Structure 1
Amino acid sequence: MAVALYNPSTDSGLKKLDEYLLTRSYITAYQASKDDITVHAALSGAPSSEYVNVCRWYNHIDALLRLSGVSGEGHGVAIEGFAPEEAIATPPVADTKAPAAEAEDDDDDDVDLFGEETEEEKKAAEERAAAVKASGKKKESGKSSVLLDIKPWDDETDMKKQEEAVRSVEMEGLHWGASKLVPVGYGIKKLQIMMTIVDDLVSVDTLIEENLTVEPANEHIQSCDIVAFNKI
């Protein structure tokens, strides 16, 4: 569903955007999309540090545009008093062959840990699957890397117990990885955690609905969102 926002180049618009991003990582979707680019372009520059949530989001999108670009379609966003240029919808993808030193300079804690699967990768995967089928061999189960956003109820939620509740979920084909706490404002932090799953054995939606957002885990977890999903 499309959203309508006030012009973020004004103080009142920035304040509204900061409140909007308090419980969201992106403007309209579970991953960076063209809607984020539209709002990013509407800002006259980096926002003041007093707008904690806008700064977090702005730095994240800025880093993505520098490193790998954004390809998600989003759900549509309208900004009062701002008409995005046509070119904004399809930003150029940064050169992936840039020197390692430059990549280190652009390092950002909020950069997505997983990227979009390219057309070349999809084509190669399809060709491998066709080759396996033609040879009569059984295709091995694929794996995926998933980044989750785990939000607490409030600033009094015990984040250590929240992570323990998440990691206590065990099932065949599921492996929990690295995690970190990300400030979202007003003393509240959310948990970002990676996991690797065997596609044929684990459904991420089922994992969330039947394990992470029901008792006893929901005592420490308000909601759980998929930030990134990448085949490996």
Structure 2
Amino acid sequence: MAVTFSDLHTEAGLKSLESFLSGKTYISGDKITKDDVKVYAAVLNKPSADLYPTASKWYDSVASKLASSFPGKAAGVSVSAQPSPTEVAPAEAAAADEDDDLDLFGDETEEEKKAAEERDQAKASTKKKESGKSSVLMDVKPWDDETDMKKLEEAVRSVELPGLLWGASKLVPVGYGIKKMTIMLTIVDDLVSVDDLIEERLTVEPINEYVQSCDIVAFNKI
């Protein structure tokens, strides 16, 4: 519950405080927390027992504890806009040793925890898992030394598929005046099969006019 100090000066704020405290068993205990003190200091006057019975009971419980720990100080823990350091400091000291107590606005109820878990599960089920990517190094070989390697590269790069991105390329001599083209490509694994790319696109018409074969040199997951 998001309740600010200014909210607690209004009926709406007191209603929120009453709703939050409703059903809480610790309000009648003999221990208070720092958050109890802070909220107590932000409530200008004791909540009406008729309108806000739980908040009124909580207010009396905190006031009683403060009065027993620091006689005469509890009545001074009040604010008009913001609590002054001299007013709140003694009250906060009463709760300094209670760090292990239930946090008034910090701890969640079992119902709130369950609701939060259900929301997280719903988000996880609707969130699409991002597909992995791979980096591929491929050798593209021409038919002979008379193959126009510039047109070969243009033909290879003309293949466009969702999840396929062509990268840098270079020509590498293989002997007898013949050069092969080594080219990098990045693929989305769920969208592109390198084997299908070679068999169904790069080594069939019209690209096979320039490309004799393709070999995968390196295949790495990104």
TM-score normalised by the chain length of structure 1: 0.41
TM-score normalised by the chain length of structure 2: 0.43
Higher relative contact order (CA 8 A, sep 6+): 1
Larger Rg: 2
